Amino acid sequence: MYNLYLMGLITNRGMRSKYIAFFKENNIHITLTTLGAGTAGSAILDYLGIEATEKAIYFAFLTLDTWNRLRKELYQKIQIDIPGRGIAFLIPISSIGGKKTLQYLTVGQEMQMKEESALKNTDFELLITIANGGHIETVMDAARSAKAPGGTVIHAKGTGAEHAKKFLGISLAEEKELIFIVVRSGQKNEIMRAIMEQAGPSTPAGSITFSLPVTATAGLHLLEPEAETLQHV
């Protein structure tokens, strides 16, 4: 398995321009940005120095070496330890839908193989598909053709469109839809294959897909193999 992670970073919206410049300086070309609102209680917000509303959320694909370097820069240049500057976290990626997609997501970073970890031997996985805006149903129809349950969608903006032609041979729109689907691990490959074939980079949907390990669940009894397809969340 590739030594690849999804970094999540949550900060106040006022820090957006600083982080955009920071990513560019550190050769992080592929990012996803969405807006959100905080829900933490006032005591926690006071501790973190983050307002109750108006968050900017960033996702980027990093190797462990890149993260180690970036983490130092977050402290030294962004001073992320100062309340209000943000919080960052790392999630291991268990699979990627195709070699070209991997090259696109990690442009400018050196990849290394590593052994599978116990964390990835899970019963469920979270499939994340990034598609051009307006193609949610195309992706979901493809996923359902492989008996996937329903998905949850959020809207985001992407960067790195200039690299898409080099690695994927296509132009990607800036407006993105992120489709989240929790599936049984045994279904993962078939669903990912269906999405890549019916809604992948060579289609108008321009989708790329990857999966994250899910270490614990509750209320997912409807995902048993004999269950009917769930409705769109």
- Percentage of residues of the chain with pLDDT beyond 90: 45
Q: How far apart are CA 179 and CA 202, in angstroms?
A: 18
pTM given for the model? 0.78
Q: Which range among 68-72, 149-153, 162-166, 211-215 shows the weakest confidence by mean pLDDT? A: 162-166
DSSP string, 44-77: HHHHHT--SS-EEEEEEEEEHHHHHHHHHHIIII
pLDDT of 165: 75
| Contacts (Cβ under 8 Å, ≥6 apart) of 184 | 123, 124, 125, 223, 225
Domains, the chain = 4-92 (3.30.70.120), 116-215 (3.30.70.120)
Could you tell me which of 216, 144, 206 has the C-alpha nearest to residue 181? 144
> 72 pLDDT exceeds 90?
yes
Q: 210 falls in which pLDDT band (50, 70, 90)? A: very high
Q: What is the CA radius of gyration of the chain?
A: 18
